[in-house]
Structure 1
Amino acid sequence: MVDLQSLKSKGERGFLDGQFLIAMPGMADSNFARAVVYICAHSTDGAMGFIINQPQRLSFVDILLHLKLIGEDDAIMVPETTRSFPIQKGGPVETGRGFVLHSDDYLTQSSIPVSDELCLTATVDIIRAISRGRGPSRATLLLGYAGWSAGQLESEIAANGWLSCPADESLIFDRDLDGKYNRALALMGIHPAMLSMEVGHS
C-alpha cells in the first residue's frame, strides 16, 4: 500500500489532491457507506486520504493512557476541552495507527503539508502538545486511513462509486459528523434524494 510520504516525495499533484470524495449510495465497500473522504495525496502511484465523518469509540483520554502520557490517577484531571478532543475513524488501513490532521500553525520536523493550510503529523509529540493545550488551533485525530493502489481510485470513480469536489476546511474539522455527508453533497448543489433516484441508472 502506498503511503503519504512516498506520494508527496514524488512532487506530483494529482487531480484529486485536496478534494472530497463522497460515496455514492451504491458503494459496495461497507467501510465507505455514506463516507466523505478528504484526499491528502494523489498520484500515478495511488492515493491516500481520511474519512472525516465516521465516529470512533475511543476518547482522547484513552489515547493518552494508551501512549502512557498520563497515568490512571491523572485521567480525572484532564480538562474538558482536552477530554473532548475529536477522534474519528480515518479508514480501514492500519486502524491502530493515529494521524493528526491539523492547521499549519503547529509544525514539527515530521509534519507533512497536505495543502496550503493543512498538515498531517503522525508522531506522539503532537498528542503531547494537544494534551498540554499547545497544539494546533484546528485539529482532529484519525485512527487508520484510506488508501488506493495505482489506478484503483480512478477505476472506482469511473464505476460511479464516488463523486468529487474541492474540500471545505470548515467541514473537515466540524464536529457534527452525522451532517457531513449531506453538507458535502450540498457543496455540489446535490440533495441526497437526487442520488437515490439515480442509483442503477448510468
Structure 2
Amino acid sequence: MTAEQYLSGRILLAMPGMFDPRFERSVNVMCVHDENGALGIGIGQVRDGVRFHDVLEELDVDPGVSPNREIMNGGPVEPGRGFILHSTDWGGADTIAVQPLCALSASMDVLRAIAEGRGPEHWIMALGYAGWGAGQLEAEMRHHGWYAAAGHREVLFETPPEARWSATWRAEGIDPAVLSTETGRA
C-alpha cells in the first residue's frame, strides 16, 4: 500500500450487518495505520459508570477546573489504558499527530493540563483501543466490515457519541438507512 492508502486521520465506520457484533455501529478514529497494522480509538460508545473525574481520582490528579465528561469505550484491547483524542492546539512529548483530524496523547501530562485548564480546547477521553495486525484491517474491509470516511472534525468534537455513526455517514453524503447488510459479488 502507498501512504495515501493508509487510513490514519480518517474515521472508520462499521458497516451494517458487520461480521463481529462487538463492533455494531462502531465509530473509530484511525490514529495509526501502516504496513505493521492499525490502531483506532472508539468514539461512538460511552463507557458505563466511568467519568473523567473518576479516572483523575484513580490517578491521584486533582480534577481542578476540568469538566466531568463521559469516557468513551475506546475498544476491546487494553480497556484499562487511557487515551485522549484532542485538538492540535496542545501537544506533549508523547503526542502523536493524527493528520488532518486531531492529535492523540496518552500521558499524565495531558490529564494534568486539562485539569489545570491549560490543555487542548477540544478533547475526548477513551479507555482501550481497537487494534489490527498487519493486513488484518484490509482483509476485514474486503469482507463487508468497515467503511473509511474522511476525518470530520465536527463529528469528532461537536456531535454526541450516540449520533456519531449516523452523522459520519451523513457527512459523507450517504443515508445510512439505505445501506445493505451484505456485500455483493461481481
TM-score by length of 2: 0.89
- Give the partner amino acid of 1:174: E
CA distance in 1, matches of 2:172, 2:100: 22
Percent sequence identity over aligned pairs: 38
In structure 2, the partner of 1:26 is 17
Match of 2:6 in 1: 15
Query: In the alignment, residue 43 of structure 2 is paired with which amino acid?
Result: I
CA–CA separation in structure 1 for the residues paired with 2:147 and 2:86: 24
Matches within 5 A, 1:130-169: 130-169=114-153
Please tell me whether the aligned partners of residues 98 and 104 of structure 2 are also in contact (alpha carbons under 8 angstroms): yes
Contact 2:9 2:100 in 1 (8 A): no
Q: If the length of structure 1 is used for normalisation, what is the TM-score?
A: 0.83
In 2: Cα distance, 1:84 partner to 1:104 partner: 21
The partner residue of 2:56 within 61, 64, 73 is 64
Q: Is the 1:14–1:44 Cα contact (8 Å) retained in structure 2?
A: no
Paired with 1:39 and 1:116, the residues of 2 have a C-alpha distance of 11
Shift of 1:30: 2.6
* Aligned residue type for 1:199: T
* Greater strand proportion: 2
* More divergent stretch after superposition (27-36 vs 90-99): 27-36
Q: From the two aligned structures, give the one with the greater helix fraction.
A: 1
Q: Corresponding residue for 2:181?
A: 199
The Cα shift of 1:15 comes to 2.5
Alpha carbons 1:46, 1:147 under 8 Å: kept: yes
Residue 125 of structure 2: SS of its match in structure 1?
strand
Instruction: Find the aligned partners of 2:183 and 2:131 in 1 and give their Cα distance.
Output: 28
Q: CA 1:114–1:160 in structure 2 vs 1: closer, same or farther (change >3 Å)?
A: same
Question: C-alpha distance in 2, partners of 1:100/1:201?
Answer: 34
1:201–1:134 Cα change, 3 Å: closer
Shift of 1:86: 4.0
> Once superposed, what is the RMSD of the aligned Cα atoms?
1.8
Indicate yes or no: 2:104 matched with 1:120.
yes
Letter aligned with residue 158 of structure 2 = D
